[in-house]
Structure 1
Amino acid sequence: MQKLSRGIGLLTLFALGALLAITAELSYGGWIQLPLLALLWWQMSKHQDLHLKNQFLLGLAFGVGYFVIGLWWIYISLHDVGGMNMLLSAAAVLMLSSYMACFFSLATLSLKWFKTSKLTGLMLAASWVLLEFLRGIIFTGFPWMGFAETQVNGPFAPVAPILGGLACTFLVVWISWEIFRLKNTSVFSGICIVLTITLSQLASVFTFTHPTSEPLTVRLIQGNFEQSLKFNPQAMQEQFAFYTNAITNQAADLIITPETAYPWPQSNLPAGLLHSIQQFSTATSSTVLVGLIGEVAQTTGVQYSNRALGFSPDLPQYQYDKSHLVPFGEFVPPGFRWFVDAFHVPLSDFARGKLDQAPLSIARPQQEIVNAAITICYEDVFGGELAARLRSSTQPVNLLINMTNLAWFGKSQAPEQQLRLSQLRSLETGLPALRATNTGITAVLGSKGEILAQLPQFTQDTLSAKIQAYSGLTPYVIWGNMPILTLSGLLLIFGLLRQKRI
């Protein structure tokens, strides 16, 4: 009977995790997140008498349900695009989800370690934040599907420019715990909930960045080319022609293509292609940023890179090489060559760009220069890294640009998930953002993460818009994650010391 009850508990927590991942895609997912997590704590509390190992399994069941639903689109890249065996592809998604779930599960063990009291929710939130931070750095990190990105549509979004996404995560976990505890400590928990949400909403009145210079005219090109065509020589020629024509079709202050719009080594591109773009840039005073495969000289020979190449009328050619590479897609972790060989698409160990690369300078006649920080693909998942780049930049950054290609993931929720991550980055930095993507979602974001304009997914089109550059640094850019990590660490130390005295 006990085993049956435990089995039902595991299935319930798996389903609850799956439901939480589904609601993350809703317009008010950040608000719905709170009562659903309260249900999680209620379910976990029903099994507090279990052994530590069984308690871990309960947390694992929740995490696996959450990540399998949230990350199932990786199956598309492995099986549908990469041609990997169906069972191996499904197993890879399950293994990654299980690994991600371990961080959630370890955080829930704090419910076992700290005796139930009015401070338990704070200890749980502190544990969750520290393990989320580790999830973002271990094995190069993969902090996708964190609770913070859902808060773009939730009550704690205004906290992001002050203390960052991890602080939003802290508040989500703590307040959801207090919702669960309302029945037992109605006055204390009620005050915590109302006061915290109210103060978080009031934080939106603070602005740390301000408009600078005249708005820029921008053109973001969405090619909508299937990923499988990127390895077909004839299809690549058609892709080259489309992007070159789309770039030179009309002038703008800034024109951006997606990541690897020209999926071929820079030196092997058709003769005169890049020169024609440079000529157009000079003749029309347009700054053009294109995605292609770069080449980096190494002692062992030439190594490829995922590159953004910029052309400006009166400035040297700009170059940004992607720094935070995707495991298995852009570099092969030791011992996993067999896994990459299971793909039927050409992949490579890319060269890693430096962390301190300069921003793109956008020059306009009789206007001050606007500088833009570039991220490629999932680099915009790492808010701490972007904040560090802006903080240490020798030139003030006024705009964020993300170039990406999500054709690998077909018709899934991956584009919406990355859009929310870009919105969170704009919130944290107080800067507007431009997203140029192959299949979507190509969009223009305001300095508070709001969507100003976007293209429909899976359409071949160009998004023309105006965007206002901003100047200044938010507290999060200045301090990074240090304040919330310090607070979380001190809370856990206090909790451990308190446990020893009990």
Structure 2
Amino acid sequence: MIHPLSRSRSAIHYLTLFILGAVLAGATELSYGGWIQIPILSVIWWQLTLENHSSIKHQLLSGLIFGLGYFVIGLWWIYISLHDVGGMNAALSCMAVFLLSAYMALYFALATLTLTLLHNSRFTGLFLAASWVVMEFLRGYIFTGFPWMGLAESQVNGPFSVIAPYFGGLACTFLVVFTSWQILQLKKDPLVSTLTLIFVIVLTALSSLWSFTKPIGAPLRVELIQGNFAQSLIFKPEGVLKQIEFYFAAMSKSHAELIIAPETAFPWPESNLPSGTIDALQKQINQQGNNLLFGVIGRHTNTKDGREFSNRALGLSPANPPYLYDKNHLVPFGEFIPPGFHWFVNAFNVPLSDFARGGMNQENFLIQRPNQKPLLAAITICYEDVFGGELASRIRNSSTSTNVLINLTNLAWFGDSQASSQQLRLSQLRSLETGLPALRATNTGITSVLGPDGKVLSSLPEFSQASLITQVQAYEGKTPYVRWGNLPILSISCILLIWGLIRHRRF
């Protein structure tokens, strides 16, 4: 029989962990969230180690509840797309957010098992950081992956951003977890923990001394168009036409070297657009000598899987055939329907797509420049900006160089929420990892220009209909992360975990 006092302590323990998870998620939205999350994690590790380490079940449940608090707060905006835009029943929408959060929290829970399986060691911090890295990698891989709201993207406003060009976001995650654990150990072993923290500080400072990419050519004059159209408009013919007319007019009158409109700026199959739309834009491009990139629904005549349409970026440049980039990493339920889940999609009151998937290593977009060397841009569409390893692989395997990153996004599905700021941080992390500037053209925000160090150089206010007209300096070169990807940090993490398990068996 469980003593009532023990049951009460357990309830308080779990509630505290849930609240701490929610606080950690909230802190990531602050200006210095990458710094603030480190002491919060130290408190979480302390709370997770208060109880008896011998119970794997207890540790797993504790980690799960902590993760649940973190993801429910961090991913609540999915409710907006399901209920407010999609018209799904409120209870079913809440349940969907809860289940996704619980699934995400499971990876956090599995990572925290290190505190039970490999405890009572001065190397526990290394083992915990290694297990966290492995679980985060798997979270971004299994079932096509959903690595949103990781610890890494907050480091664009934190101390470990300079590590990203070397070993990527997972290495930033490793240092966040390891450092927060060492802070917790200051009272128990002050000398070793202090020396370890000094070593991490020195290593981080030294890492900031090198850069791996350099400017190329004169700054590029760009115009990023933000239409600010509600998602509900594209489900009505008059709304579709209104949006097409706006973006067509905005692109037609621009004199920038590169003009970019967001994902599905033309929310209609390319072949069904008003007669002469693409031809008129191409004629203008040929006359003015500028370049144009915008989102459209692509159409395929022969597909093996029967999927006729794709989420496409269409590029136009002088004297060149149209450039086509079809989105490769599709959003489950939003852009493809997993087998057995058509019942879930049928609960929406709006049509959802089952898109064809583009190739993994599609060519870069060629940006023509009068009297200058052309530039090459790596294109991503919305959700693809989440997967740093895939982008690094594309740049590494490309037959041409990459000088700038371009992301086309439409987050109107998620209303006035933190989804846009979360994706902006992910874009900043991609620039840090690759050492390349980025252009983000979005429908509702946050339209912005990022430097190769991930800093926001200029941006538009959210939910405004405007254009961002500015310049961006292109870069050339490859960072160590682009050359090696996640292999180094994953190898180190796996070696540490194997070593930890061997030590555990010996002792």
**Into which bin does the TM-score normalised by the smaller protein fall?**
over 0.9
Name 1:230's counterpart in structure 2: 234
Alignment pair present for 1:479 and 2:480: no
Name 1:154's counterpart in structure 2: 158
Name 2:275's counterpart in structure 1: 271
Contact preservation (8 Å) 1:216, 1:469: yes
Give a deviation string over 1:123-170, Cα, whole Å, max 9, x none. 000000001000000000000000000001000000000010000000
Alignment pair present for 1:310 and 2:279: no
1:11-410 matches, within 5 Å, as: 11-49=15-53, 51-297=55-301, 298-299=303-304, 303-410=308-415
Moved more, 415-424 or 242-251: 242-251
Contact preservation (8 Å) 1:314, 1:363: no
Give a deviation string over 1:402-431, Cα, whole Å, max 9, x none. 000000000000000000000000000000
The 3-state SS of whatever aligns with 1:319 is strand
Give a deviation string over 1:355-377, Cα, whole Å, max 9, x none. 01000000111110100000001
Aligned-pair distance for 1:346? 1.0
Aligned-pair distance for 1:201? 2.9
5+ unaligned residues in a row in structure 2: which ranges?
Answer: none
Instruction: Give the partner amino acid of 1:167.
Output: A
Contact preservation (8 Å) 1:122, 1:491: yes
Aligned-pair distance for 1:299? 4.5
Instruction: Give the partner amino acid of 2:463.
Output: F
Contact preservation (8 Å) 2:55, 2:116: no
Instruction: Give the partner amino acid of 2:127.
Output: M
Contact preservation (8 Å) 2:431, 2:451: yes
Aligned-pair distance for 1:119? 0.3
Contact preservation (8 Å) 2:53, 2:115: no
Instruction: Give the partner amino acid of 1:185.
Output: D
Give a deviation string over 1:20-57, Cα, whole Å, max 9, x none. 00000011111111100000010011013452111111
1:457 to 462, 483, 492: 462
Give a deviation string over 1:479-500, Cα, whole Å, max 9, x none. 0000000000100111111111
Q: Please give the alpha-carbon distance, in whole angstroms, between the structure 1 residues aligned to 2:375 and 2:394.
A: 16
Q: Please give the alpha-carbon distance, in whole angstroms, between the structure 2 residues aligned to 1:429 and 1:299.
A: 34
1:494 to 476, 479, 499: 499
Moved more, 165-174 or 273-282: 273-282
Aligned-pair distance for 1:464? 0.4
Give a deviation string over 1:303-340, Cα, whole Å, max 9, x none. 10000000001222100000000000000011110001
Aligned-pair distance for 1:302? 6.0
The 3-state SS of whatever aligns with 1:368 is coil
RMSD over aligned Cα, in angstroms? 0.9
The 3-state SS of whatever aligns with 2:18 is helix
Name 1:419's counterpart in structure 2: 424
Give a deviation string over 1:186-240, Cα, whole Å, max 9, x none. 1111111122023213311210000011111000000000000111111111111
5+ unaligned residues in a row in structure 1: which ranges?
Answer: none
Q: Please give the alpha-carbon distance, in whole angstroms, between the structure 1 residues aligned to 2:456 and 2:206.
A: 21
Instruction: Give the partner amino acid of 2:416.
Output: K
Q: Please give the alpha-carbon distance, in whole angstroms, between the structure 1 residues aligned to 2:270 and 2:254.
A: 24
Q: Please give the alpha-carbon distance, in whole angstroms, between the structure 2 residues aligned to 1:279 and 1:344.
A: 39
Q: Please give the alpha-carbon distance, in whole angstroms, between the structure 1 residues aligned to 2:305 and 2:99.
A: 34
Contact preservation (8 Å) 1:295, 1:302: no
Instruction: Give the partner amino acid of 1:17.
Output: G
Contact preservation (8 Å) 1:126, 1:489: yes
Contact preservation (8 Å) 1:77, 1:409: yes
2:448 to 423, 443, 446: 443
Contact preservation (8 Å) 2:435, 2:453: yes
Instruction: Give the partner amino acid of 1:383.
Output: G
Among all aligned residue pairs of Structure 1 and Structure 2, give the percentage whose two residues are the same amino acid: 60
Give a deviation string over 1:86-132, Cα, whole Å, max 9, x none. 00000000000000000000000011001322100000000000010
Aligned-pair distance for 1:300? 6.5
TM-score by length of 2: 0.98
Aligned-pair distance for 1:347? 1.1
Give a deviation string over 1:380-417, Cα, whole Å, max 9, x none. 10000000000000000000000000000000000000
Q: Please give the alpha-carbon distance, in whole angstroms, between the structure 2 residues aligned to 1:416 and 1:305.
A: 26
Q: Please give the alpha-carbon distance, in whole angstroms, between the structure 2 residues aligned to 1:198 and 1:345.
A: 54
Aligned-pair distance for 1:250? 1.9
Contact preservation (8 Å) 2:35, 2:158: yes
The 3-state SS of whatever aligns with 1:147 is coil
TM-score by length of 1: 0.99
Name 2:437's counterpart in structure 1: 432
Give a deviation string over 1:232-277, Cα, whole Å, max 9, x none. 1111111111001100112111100000011001110000111111
Moved more, 406-415 or 47-56: 47-56
Instruction: Give the partner amino acid of 1:121.
Output: G
Q: Please give the alpha-carbon distance, in whole angstroms, between the structure 1 residues aligned to 2:274 and 2:44.
A: 57
Instruction: Give the partner amino acid of 2:20.
Output: L
